[in-house]
Amino acid sequence: MPGLDRRHGRLFEEVAELYDRVRPSYPDELFNDLAAMAGIGEGSSVLEVGCGTGQATAPLALLGCSVTAVEPGPAMATLARAKLAGLANVEVETSSFEEWDDRGRRFDGIVAASSWHWVDPTIGWARVHRLLRDGGSVSLLANVVVRRPGEVELYAATADLHERFSPANPSFGHPPLEEELRATKEGWGTIERIEDPGPLFERPTARFYPNLQWLDGNGAADLLGSISIYRSLDPEVRSGLLDAIVERVRTAMGDRVPRRYLSVLRVGRRAM
């Protein structure tokens, strides 16, 4: 697996509205399980790390939690505030988690949705441990692209195009098989690029939820154009690659291609 450049986490600022429009949401069932597993609900105080445009924030607020959402990107945070303006129990603060001023606040639960891998692991886990009250839990959510044997998969169908426009790019590669991801239920999840916190947290409980998007050619290009590994390409390379993918999906795939995910929930209690 290629190393993660955490600077790429700021590239979503360039396409905040696109990101909000095309990224898959999380199933309602996941949030019901999160509340039960993490022991949060009406009146609980929750910190969300890297809220993006608020895709997980609203469901957390609708559980009755008081949510403080921290987002490093000003454009993403502005869009989140606009979307969440009708929820009185949500406050969005613009900062990286590493530099965020907690002002002495402590929380019953901490949640990170498709964002924890962008946090510096030398700071993140220890800080979460300090911010949680005794008995509190950390919940990590992610939508992980997976594949099934014999099923059409977007990257596989366009791998030659990726190689043509960005040869030997270590960031590209086939997504894991669904069964490979499900096999990580005993830990924090190396496929999601999550470092183990060691003794700071108890072993997590994992749940998996199938999630499927159907995309036409333009939709595929929009989705890929919102992902950091594509945002990091030279603009001309990215444009050429995405245009070629649009044409491939239209002409060779009937303008309809699936994008399969497992929505993953991992919940671990703070160790005393």
* 168: alpha, beta or left? (left if phi > 0; alpha if psi -120 to 50): left
pLDDT for the residue numbered 10:
62
What does DSSP assign to residue 114? S
* Per-residue pLDDT tens over the stretch 13-53: 778 899 999 999 999 999 999 999 999 999 999 999 999 99
Q: Are strands 257-269 and 107-113 parallel, antiparallel or unpaired?
A: unpaired
For 187, the token pair is 């830990």
pLDDT for the residue numbered 192:
85
CA dist 27 and 32 (Å) reads 9
Amino acid at 238: R
Q: Are strands 66-71 and 205-215 parallel, antiparallel or unpaired?
A: unpaired
CA dist 9 and 120 (Å) reads 11
* Per-residue pLDDT tens over the stretch 176-199: 999 999 999 989 988 888 889 999
* Per-residue pLDDT tens over the stretch 92-122: 999 999 999 999 999 999 999 999 989 999 9
Amino acid at 257: V
| Average confidence score pLDDT of the chain | 93
pLDDT for the residue numbered 1:
38
Domains, the chain, ranges and CATH?
Answer: 6-146+177-211+262-269 (3.40.50.150)
Range 127-137 average pLDDT: 97
- The answer to whether residues 48 and 69 touch, using CB atoms and an 8 Å cutoff, is yes
pTM over 0.95: no
pLDDT for the residue numbered 223:
96
Range 144-148 average pLDDT: 96
Calculated CA dihedral for residues 1, 31, 95, 135, nearest 10 degrees: -100
| Backbone φ and ψ of 49, nearest 5° | -95, 120
User: In the predicted model, is pLDDT for residue 4 greater than 80?
Assistant: no
Range 146-163 average pLDDT: 96
User: In the predicted model, is pLDDT for residue 12 greater than 80?
Assistant: no
Q: Which residue in the block uniquely carries the two structure tokens 């949640």?
A: 111
* Per-residue pLDDT tens over the stretch 218-253: 999 999 999 989 999 999 999 999 999 999 999 999
* Per-residue pLDDT tens over the stretch 161-171: 999 999 999 98
Question: What Cα–Cα distance (Å) separates residue 90 from each residue in 107, 130, 143?
Answer: 14, 22, 23
DSSP-H helix ranges across the chain: 16-22, 28-38, 57-62, 74-83, 121-131, 154-165, 178-182, 217-225, 228-231, 235-252
CA dist 224 and 248 (Å) reads 14
User: In the predicted model, is pLDDT for residue 270 greater than 90?
Assistant: yes
